[in-house]
Chain A
Amino acid sequence: MTTPPGHGPGGTRPPQPARSVTLPPSETVFEVGGLSVFYGDHEAVRDVNMNIGARQITAMIGPSGCGKSTVLRCFNRMNDLLPGARVAGKVRYHNEDLYGREVDPIEVRRRIGMVFQKPNPFPKSIYDNIAYGPRVGGFKGNLDDLVEETLTHAALWDEVKDKLRTSALALSGGQQQRLCIARTIAVEPEVILMDEPCSSLDPIATAKIEDLMEHLAQEFTIIVVTHNMQQAARVSEQTAFFSSEIDGSGVRHGRLIEFDETGTLFSNPSDQRTEDYISGRFG
């Protein structure tokens, strides 16, 4: 390809970050140090170090199979559910070891929610989808109010207010995904993890989700995995670039190559591999 360095794929202009690159100093929510994740004997991700700030969007980009989802699942201990998965290293959440002996993964997941690649609403009514999390969490207040507030917050209320009792599966894919985001914020988490939330959606639905993310980032800390570099550039303040590397013994591991402010990472990457990837020259 003849695209000059720093240009996005297809020879377009370099993606511009949506917000100012001079960020206010942000409180650290996650501190990750020397994090490795194993599936059985295979070290899928090796030695990740990164700090994630509060109430901003952090994007994770990189070629598929480099371990983005794996790292994301460490933040709310979803990896616990995979047989054979093992985490080594440090993941601190507000200075508390997420993998500490006393830590209850259920409590972790109530504070750190997750939205998945494919919309996965429960085969229940729209209302029951939102009410599910509060119910299992022992919510005692008025559920009707909570459902309305949550759906309004997620900019979905006007579209669904007349069909709260119909199945969530009757919604379009984009609406289902926004319902899943709403369902997540209904339990009032502090962090929302999103694993390629738009990968199955059309551009219009994607734009709506991106708007929602920017809106939610005023209150929530968001970490989003995306294969869409424009999306990372549009919505995030910080971007982490992962890639897979073959080590001396011929084994492939996911590595964090570069982690920086989104504007810097896209316009002036410090690592050649980052530059190759964002300019579309990746092998």
Chain B
Amino acid sequence: MTSRTLRRRAAAGTPGFLKRSQPRWTERVVKVLLVAAALVSVLTTVGIVVALIPPVVEFFGKVDLGEFITGTDWSPLFEPPHFGVLPLVTATLVVTVIALLVAVPLGLGAAVYLSEYAGHRVRGTFKPVLEVLAGIPTVVYGFFALKAITPFLQRFWPGDDPPEVFNALSAGFVMGIMIIPTIASLAEDSMAAVPRSLRDGAYALGSSRMQVSTRVVFPAALSGIVAAVVLGVSRAIGETMIVAIAAGGRPNLTFDPLEGMQTMTAFIAAAGIGDLPTGSTGYQTIFAVGLLLFAITLVMNLISIRLVRRYREVYE
């Protein structure tokens, strides 16, 4: 019992024996570093919004907000320009809905399988594979949609009216494939975190595996599952490369997924790499669409937070 700390320690009862013996600054430095790390992300987000504002304000000095929101014709770079953003919004909506129709059932199905049905070994192999899938560059997915899925659909289309070369269906489908791993992996994490004791309780009442999964584990993991889906939606809305390659660059106000259409992100990418002079109205449209995109994602996140608060089952 003669370790250094013990020998250095002042005897109990000597004046000031309970005073701090370690210097205070190490704690402070660590704290400052951690706060800085947290601030970087917050400040970046704030910075982006702030940078968006001046061009957007200038834009709405020239273009009526009502026309922007409700107009059905988007041709900002032509003469005479039209600034109705609806065709871009509906295109984003159509592609996102298709992507979710693919990704939510398959992603959640994979999550339930991995968490409730698969043995240790299968899960140990599957999860890393899923995560690799999540790392494939989106440009690869885009060409896969354009060069494999679209020709396949055109060749085997049952009706007389096959999809166009650029179409929302292929883009949405492949985007759905792309976000499956995100949804599956996050949803699986939250289902795996549901305590074993709840499953035992359900099995002991004579539940089948499916009943345990859907009636006990799924509701208990709901907040994580919703978070997974919301992240999937955000990725779908923000995804650029796949739609730019496979859905085409033509603003098109339609809900027909067999037609080509330009999403908000595809417009930003196309206009952004063009040589629009800084300060021109065309240049400012990029920021206006960007801010709208940001607002839509934000509103969606807020809604999902409320939904989760209302429906989740808190198990601790």
Contacts of B231 in A (CB 8 A): none
A120 touches which of B119, B120, B200, B208 (Cβ 8 Å): B200
Identify A124's interface contact among B199, B206, B207, B313, CB under 8 A. B313
Asked if B215 and A132 sit within 8 Å, CB to CB, the answer is yes
A256 CA to B186 CA, complexed, in Å: 46
Does B204 touch A at the CB level, under 8 Å? yes
Q: Does A113 contact B (CB under 8 A)?
A: yes
The listed residue (B119, B198, B206, B211) touching A122 by CB distance below 8 A is B198
CB-CB nearest in chain B for A111: B206
Q: Is B201 an interface residue (CB 8 A)?
A: yes
The 0/1 profile, CB within 8 Å of B marked 1, for residues 188-212 of chain A is: 0000000000000000000000000
Interface flags for A120-162 (1: CB within 8 Å of B; 0: not) read 1111100000001101110000000000000000000000000
Chain B residues whose CB sits within 8 angstroms of the CB of A113 once the complex forms:
204-205
Tell me the minimal C-beta distance from B114 to chain A in angstroms: 15
A185 to chain B, nearest CB (A): 11
Q: Give the distance to chain B from A239, nearest Cβ to Cβ, in Å.
A: 24
> In this complex, which of B202, B205, B315 has the most chain A Cβ atoms within 10 angstroms of its Cβ?
B205
B interface majority secondary structure: helix
Contacts of B211 in A (CB 8 A): 136
Quick check: A132 and B205 within 8 Å, CB to CB? yes
Q: Decide: A109 near B201, CB < 8 A? Known: A83-B119, A122-B216, A123-B314.
A: no
Q: How far is the CA of A106 from the CA of B200 in the complex (A)?
A: 12
A81 part of interface (Cβ distance < 8 Å): yes
A107 touching B314 in the complex, CB below 8 Å, given contacts A83-B120, A116-B201, A122-B216:
no
Q: Which residues of B contact A37 (CB under 8 A)?
A: none
Are A81 and B201 in touch, CB under 8 angstroms? no
Q: Is A114 within 8 A of B219, CB to CB?
A: no
Instruction: Report the nearest B residue to A114, measured CB to CB.
Output: B204
CB distance from B225 to the nearest CB of A (A): 14
- Is B202 a contact partner of A187 (Cβ separation < 8 A)? no
Nearest B-chain residue to A134, judged by Cβ: B205
Q: Cβ of B206: which chain A residues have Cβ within 8 Å of it?
A: 106-107, 109-110, 133, 136-137, 187
Chain A residue with the shortest CB-CB distance to B220: A123
* B231 CB to nearest A CB, Å: 23
Given A81-B200, A136-B211, are A123 and B205 neighbors across the interface (CB < 8 Å)?
no
Q: Which of A120, A135, A167, A184 contacts B197 (CB 8 A)?
A: A120
CA distance A123 to B119 in the complex (A): 26
State whether B202 touches A122 (Cβ < 8 A). yes
When the two chains form their complex, are residues A106 and B216 in contact, meaning their CB atoms are under 8 A apart? no
B255 beta carbon closer than 8 Å to chain A: no
Q: In whole Å, how far is A118's beta carbon from the nearest beta carbon of chain B?
A: 6
Q: B157 contacts the other chain (Cβ, under 8 Å)? A: no
* Chain A residues, Cβ within 8 Å of B219: 123-124
A76: CB under 8 A from chain B?
yes
Q: How far is the CA of A122 from the CA of B211 in the complex (A)?
A: 13
Contact A120 B201 (CB under 8 A): yes
Interface residue range, chain A: 20 to 34
Q: B190-233 vs A: 1/0 string, CB under 8 Å?
A: 00000101111111111110010001100110000000000000
B202 touches A132 (CB 8 A): yes
CB–CB A109/B197 < 8 A: no
* Per-position 1/0 for B21-65, Cβ under 8 A of A: 000000000000000000000000000000000000000000000
Question: Do A169 and B205 form a contact, CB below 8 Å, given A83-B119, A136-B215?
Answer: no
- The contact string, 1 if C-beta is below 8 Å from chain B, for chain A 59-80, is 0000000000000000010100
A183 at the interface (CB under 8 A from B): yes
A187 to B202, CA, bound (A): 12
Is A225 at the interface (CB under 8 A from chain B)?
A: no
A76 to chain B, nearest CB (A): 7
Bound: A114/B205 CA distance, A: 8
- What is the CA–CA distance of A149 and B215 in the complex, to the nearest angstrom? 23
Q: Does A180 contact B (CB under 8 A)?
A: yes
Q: Which B residues are CB-close (under 8 A) to A137?
A: 206
Find out whether the CB atom of B203 lies under 8 angstroms from the CB atom of A133.
Answer: no
Residues of A within 8 A of B197 (CB): 116, 118, 120
Residues of A within 8 A of B208 (CB): 106, 136
Would you give the shortest CB distance from B164 to chain A, in whole angstroms?
49
Q: Check if B314 sits within 8 Å of A169, measured CB to CB.
A: yes
- In angstroms, Cα B231 to Cα A92, docked, is 52
In the complex, the answer to whether B220 meets A133 with C-beta atoms within 8 Å is no
Q: How does the 8 Å CB contact mask read for A25-67 relative to B, with 1 for contact and 0 for none?
A: 0000000000000000000000000000000000000000000
A137 CA / B119 CA spacing, docked (Å): 26
> Closest CB of chain B to A89's CB: distance in Å?
22
Which A residues touch B201, using CB under 8 A? 116, 120-122, 180, 183
**CA distance in complex: A120, B197 (Å):** 6
* Known contacts A113-B205, A114-B200; 5 further A-B pairs (Cβ under 8 A): A81-B199, A120-B198, A121-B201, A122-B202, A135-B215
Interface residues in chain A, defined as those with a beta carbon under 8 Å from any beta carbon in chain B: 76, 78, 81, 83, 106-107, 109-110, 113-114, 116, 118, 120-124, 132-133, 135-137, 167, 169, 180, 183-184, 187
Enumerate 8 A-B pairs (CB-CB under 8 Å) in ascending A order.
A106-B207, A114-B204, A120-B195, A120-B198, A123-B198, A123-B313, A136-B205, A180-B201
Using a CB–CB distance below 8 Å, which chain B residues touch chain A?
Answer: 119-120, 195, 197-208, 211, 215-216, 219-220, 313-315
Q: 7 closest Cβ contacts across the A-B interface?
A: A110-B206, A123-B313, A133-B205, A114-B204, A120-B197, A123-B315, A120-B201
